[in-house]
C-alpha cells in the first residue's frame, strides 16, 4: 500500500475514534496524555538540572584546585614543593604535569589513564551545560572534566592538567532516569484510572439524562430527571431538560384535549344527521312533515358543524402562525358602528344600543377586529334572555392612549370561578344555565379566538360580571400614533397562542 494511503487510513481511524468514542473515554485519554506529557517534561527538566549541577560541581572543584596552585606559585613556592605537600588539589581532582614536549612528569594518581588516552576520547560536542573552557572526555566506564593551565617554574614551562571524574554521578543519574521512567509509567497508569473514575463520576448525570430521555415515551411523559443538588452546568442542563419536558407534556396534553374535544363536538351533529337520514329513508317519501323536519334539522346541524370547523381551522392556523393579520389605520368609531348596525338584524327581541362612540384611529386588521367584536356581541345575545339589553360604548382615553370599548349585557352573567376559564378552548360555563335563556349553546371556541385576535393587537380584555346580573367585557385598544410609520399590510406578528393566555 502506498505510504500516503497508509497515513490517510491512520488519520481516518483516529477521526473515527474521536467522533465515535464516549466523552468519558476521550476525557480519560486526554487527561492521561496531558499528565504523561507533564511527567515526561518534568523528568527531562529534572534530569538535565541534576546533570548540569553535577558538571557545575566538578567544574567548581577544578577551579578551586587551579586557583589554589596558582596562588601558591605566585606566593613564591616552586612546583616541586607544592607537589610534595599535601592537599594541593581538592579530593577527587587529579593533577597531571607535562613538560614542554608533552611528556608526563607527574600524576597524583598513578592508575589514572594517560593523557593520550584521555585526549583520544575527547568529546567533540560536549553537553550544552558543560563549561566551554574545559574539555569533556568519555572513557569506557566514566566521563571526566579536563582543564589545563600553563605555568613557568625555574625557567621551565609546564602544563598542569586537572581532571575530575563524574562516574559516580553518572551512575546516580542513570538510576535516577530509570526511577523517573518508572514513576512516569506509574503516573500514566494512575492518570488513566483516575481519569476514567473522575470522568465517569462527572458524566453520571448525563448518562442518567440519556437513560431517562430513552424511557420517555408519548404515553409516559411524566418522567423527570433528578436535578443534582449542586448548582453547576449539569444541574442547569437537567433543569432545562425537565423544563423542556414540562412544555412538551403541556403541549401534548393540550393537543390531545383539543383533538378529543373537537371529535366530541363533531360527534353530536353527525349522530343527529345520521338519525334524521335514517328517518328520512324510512318515512321521508310518505310523510311530508317528517321530510321537511328532517331536511331542516340536517341543514341546521350541518351549519353548526361548518361553523365549528371554521373555528377549528382558524385556531389551527393561529397555532401554526399561518393566520394572516393585515393591519392598517382604521377609524374605530366607524368599525364599531358598522358591526353594531349589522348585528341589529340578528338580535331578535333583544335591545341592542350603541351609546357613546368616540372617534379614534387604531392600527389593526379590519377582518379579525370585526370578528372579535362580533364574538362578544353574539355571546351577549346568546347569554341574555329575550327582551334583555345589550349596550356598546366606545370611549377615548387619552391618558392611556387607548380606546375603551365596553360590551355590556344584563344576561345570565358569569360566576367568578368560570371567569378565569371562559377563554380556554372548548370551555363552556354550566350549560344548564344557558338553557334558561333558550340558547342552544356554542362550541366554547369563540372567546379563545377573540383572545388570540386581542393578543395580536395588544388589546387587553377585562371582564366585570356577576351571576344573574349580566356581564361587561371591556376591551382596551391602543390608539395609533399619528406619525407612526407602518406597513399597511403587516403579516401576522409571531405569537404563541396559549390556552391560558
Ligand atoms: P360559546 O360558543 O360557548 O359561546 P365562547 O368561548 O364564546 O363559547 O364562550 C365561552 C363561555 O363563556 C360560554 O359557554 C358562556 O358560558 C360564557 N360566556 C361568554 N360570554 C358570555 C356572556 N356575555 N354572558 C354570560 N356568559 C358568557
Non-local (6+) Cβ contacts of 295 within 8 A are 280
Ligand 1 neighbours by CB, cut-off 6 Å: 375, 379-380, 382-383, 409, 411-414, 422, 427-429, 441-448, 471
Q: What is the distance in A from the centroid of ligand 1 to the CA of 448?
A: 10
Give the model confidence (pLDDT) of 433-449 as tens digits.
655 555 556 788 999 99
Which of 414, 430, 438 to mutate for ligand 1's pocket (most ligand atoms within 8 Å of CB)? 414
End-to-end CA distance of the chain: 69
Residue 469 is placed in which grid cell?
346580573
Q: How far is the CA of 255 from the centre of ligand 1 (A)?
A: 22
Return per-residue pLDDT of the chain as tens, 501 residues: 565 666 666 777 766 766 777 777 777 888 888 888 888 888 888 878 887 888 888 889 999 999 999 999 899 888 888 888 888 889 889 999 998 888 888 988 888 888 888 888 888 887 777 777 788 888 877 788 889 999 988 888 999 999 988 766 667 777 888 888 888 888 888 888 888 888 888 787 788 778 877 877 766 778 787 787 878 887 888 889 889 989 988 888 888 888 888 888 888 889 989 999 998 988 878 888 888 998 999 999 999 899 899 999 999 899 888 898 999 999 999 999 999 999 998 888 899 999 999 999 999 999 999 999 999 999 999 999 999 999 999 999 999 999 999 999 999 999 999 998 999 988 888 766 655 555 556 788 999 999 999 999 999 999 999 999 999 999 999 999 755 444 444 343 333 333 232
Beta-bridge mates of residue 466? 470
Run of H or E residues at 362: strand 361-364
Q: Hey, CA dihedral for 274, 278, 281, 286, is it positive or negative?
A: negative
Q: How far is CA 72 from the centre of its chain?
A: 80
DSSP state of 324: -
Query: From CA 119, how far away is CA 147, in angstroms rounded?
Result: 12
Distance 380 CA to ligand 1 centre (A): 8
Q: Which atom of ligand 1 is least distant from the CA of 441?
A: 3
For 166, counting Cβ atoms within 10 Å of its Cβ (0-12 exposed, 13-18 middle, 19+ buried), the class is buried
pTM comes to 0.59
- Domains assigned to the chain: 20-202 (3.30.450), 233-319 (1.10.287.130), 328-489 (3.30.565.10)
Beta strand residue intervals within 383-431, DSSP E: 389-397, 402-409
pLDDT the model gives residue 167: 65
Amino acid at each position: 500500500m502506498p505510504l500516503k494511503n497508509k497515513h490517510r487510513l491512520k488519520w481516518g481511524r483516529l477521526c473515527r475514534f474521536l467522533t465515535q468514542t464516549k466523552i468519558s473515554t476521550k476525557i480519560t485519554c486526554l487527561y492521561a496524555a496531558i499528565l504523561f506529557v507533564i511527567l515526561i517534561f518534568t523528568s527531562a527538566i529534572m534530569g538535565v538540572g541534576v546533570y548540569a549541577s553535577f558538571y557545575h560541581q566538578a567544574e567548581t572543584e577544578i577551579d578551586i584546585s587551579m586557583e589554589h596552585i596558582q596562588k601558591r606559585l605566585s606566593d613564591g613556592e616552586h612546583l616541586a614543593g607544592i607537589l610534595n605537600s599535601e592537599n594541593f588539589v581538592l579530593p577527587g581532582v587529579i593533577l597531571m604535569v607535562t613538560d614542554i614536549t608533552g611528556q608526563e612528569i607527574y600524576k597524583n594518581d598513578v592508575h589514572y589513564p594517560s593523557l593520550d588516552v584521555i585526549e583520544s576520547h575527547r568529546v567533540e560536542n560536549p553537553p550544552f551545560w558543560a563549561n566551554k573552557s574545559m574539555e569533556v572526555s568519555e572513557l569506557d566506564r566514566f566521563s571526566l572534566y579536563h582543564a589545563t593551565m600553563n605555568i613557568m617554574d625555574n625557567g621551565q614551562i609546564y602544563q598542569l592538567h586537572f581532571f575530575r571524574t563524574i562516574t559516580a554521578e553518572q551512575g546516580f543519574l542513570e538510576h535516577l532516569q530509570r526511577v523517573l521512567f518508572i514513576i512516569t509509567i506509574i503516573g500514566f497508569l494512575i492518570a488513566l484510572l483516575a481519569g476514567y473514575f473522575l470522568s465517569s463520576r462527572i458524566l453520571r448525570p448525563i448518562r442518567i439524562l440519556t437513560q431517562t430521555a430513552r424511557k420517555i415515551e408519548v404515553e409516559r411523559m411524566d418522567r423527570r430527571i433528578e436535578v443534582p443538588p449542586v448548582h453547576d452546568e449539569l444541574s442547569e442542563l437537567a433543569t432545562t431538560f425537565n423544563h423542556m419536558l414540562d412544555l412538551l407534556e403541556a403541549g401534548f396534553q393540550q393537543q390531545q384535549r383539543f383533538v378529543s374535544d373537537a371529535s366530541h363536538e363533531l360527534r353530536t351533529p353527525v349522530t343527529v344527521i345520521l338519525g334524521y337520514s335514517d328517518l328520512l329513508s324510512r318515512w321521508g317519501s310518505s310523510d311530508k312533515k317528517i321530510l321537511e323536519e328532517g331536511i331542516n334539522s340536517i341543514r341546521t346541524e350541518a351549519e353548526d358543524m361548518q361553523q365549528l370547523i371554521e373555528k377549528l381551522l382558524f385556531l389551527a392556523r393561529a397555532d401554526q402562525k399561518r393566520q394572516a393579520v393585515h393591519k392598517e389605520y382604521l377609524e374605530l368609531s366607524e368599525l364599531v358602528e358598522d358591526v353594531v348596525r349589522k348585528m341589529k338584524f340578528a338580535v331578535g327581541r333583544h335591545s341592542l344600543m350603541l351609546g357613546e362612540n368616540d372617534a379614534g384611529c387604531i392600527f389593526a386588521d379590519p377582518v379579525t377586529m370585526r370578528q372579535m367584536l362580533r364574538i362578544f356581541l353574539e355571546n351577549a345575545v346568546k347569554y341574555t334572555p329575550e327582551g334583555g339589553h345589550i349596550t356598546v360604548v366606545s370611549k377615548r382615553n387619552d391618558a392611556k392612549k387607548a380606546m375603551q370599548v365596553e360590551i355590556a349585557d344584563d344576561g345570565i352573567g358569569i360566576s367568578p370561578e368560570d371567569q378565569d376559564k371562559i377563554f380556554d378552548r372548548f370551555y363552556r360555563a354550566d350549560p344548564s344555565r344557558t338553557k334558561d335563556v333558550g340558547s342552544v349553546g356554542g362550541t366554547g371556541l369563540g372567546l379563545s379566538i377573540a383572545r388570540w385576535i386581542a393578543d395580536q393587537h395588544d388589546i387587553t380584555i377585562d371582564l366585570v360580571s356577576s351571576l344573574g346580573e349580566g356581564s361587561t367585557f371591556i376591551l382596551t385598544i391602543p390608539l395609533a400614533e399619528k406619525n407612526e410609520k407602518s406597513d399597511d399590510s403587516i403579516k401576522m406578528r409571531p405569537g404563541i397562542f396559549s390556552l391560558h393566555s
